[in-house]
Amino acid sequence: MKVLTVVGARPQFIKAAPVSRALAAAGIAEILVHTGQHFDPEMSDVFFTELGIPAPAINLGIHGERHGAMVGRMLEGLEAAMLEQHPDWVVVYGDTNSTLAGALAAAKLDVPVAHVEAGMRSYDRRMPEETNRVLADHVSRLLLCATETAVANLTKEGIVAGVHHVGDVMYDAALFAAEAARSSTVLDRLLLTDGSYDLATLHRAENTDDPERLAALMAWLEEQSRTRPVVMPLHPRTAAVLKRHGIEARGLMLCSPLSYLDLTRLLAGAVSVFTDSGGLQKEAYFQRKPCVTLREETEWVETIQCGWNRLWRGGPYAPRREIADYGDGHAAEKIAALLIREADQDARRRNT
């Protein structure tokens, strides 16, 4: 059995790592294809080393273009890779352009698609990520959901076959990283101590593409820094937009993008988190840190309902309780088992 896995962005490397280990443990061959969407060494190469997974077998090197051009080039490159490798399954993650291109290329070639983190919805079609995840779900055969809310979202869209609540692979990754991050020296490098700062990240297009909104968010973060220092690893896109529009980051401790283990260690020592990242919202919960999501909505509604997260312009935190939906740290093993089960059923159908 051979699986072709499509990744392209930092969050996907994190999600793919525990699944890659589970596939290997189950005896499933994996061809890892990197589209190149995140290409800086700090945003790409270091993740494979830190997360203990092999470097990609194929790197398409596609980045820095508008959405249509990027997806088109990825479709072409991924189709060629699939025709060369003849995978039994294609696995895609989350909601990036790489996700959409991988799902469409596989569907056109009649290769079954497994979508990890299926069913997530913000219900904001202005977000390119929302379009990507909806389209990927509708061409997938296995829809591997992190939460029961995701299952319900798919049911509302008429998707019920192949839907499984497996838990969140990012929780699997977080458990792995928490131990490995103990060796990180990031606090010493930034002259920080545990419990003395907050952590902020900002990168989504709906924030960075609107200078007025970005300026308002930076002003809000400056206001938070009056309570305690706010450390902000600066995404390359955000840095470029701030410079282009002359928006100042007053009062913030800016630093370069961090590796996953350094960011995990920085999160562990933070008091609070301010972010527009879907992944960091959940990682904040995994470390039991209160979070403010710098958006008007979130796909991860459980973090809001259970009092660990609130929206930037929303109300106060709800009463705090634990979140059971994200699973027990074995989501990746469940995904590997489902792929094997589906392959066995396909083989029986061919033989009858």
203 is catalytic: yes
State the sign of the Cα–Cα–Cα–Cα dihedral 260, 296, 328, 195: positive
The dihedral sign for the CA sequence 337, 338, 339, 344: positive
Residue 189 parent element (H or E): helix 186-189
Other CB atoms within 10 A of residue 299 CB: 28
Neighbouring C-beta atoms of residue 59, cutoff 10 Å: 16
From the candidates 38, 63, 203, 235, which is the catalytic residue? 203
Look up residue 313 and give its two tokens. 């312009």
- CB-count exposure of residue 297 (10 Å: 0-12, 13-18, 19+): middle
- Give the distance, in angstroms, between the CA of residue 169 and the centroid of all CA atoms in the same chain: 10
Q: Tell me which residue of 188, 185, 120 sits closest to 150, measured CA to CA.
A: 120
Supply 62's token pair: 């596609």
Catalytic residues: 203
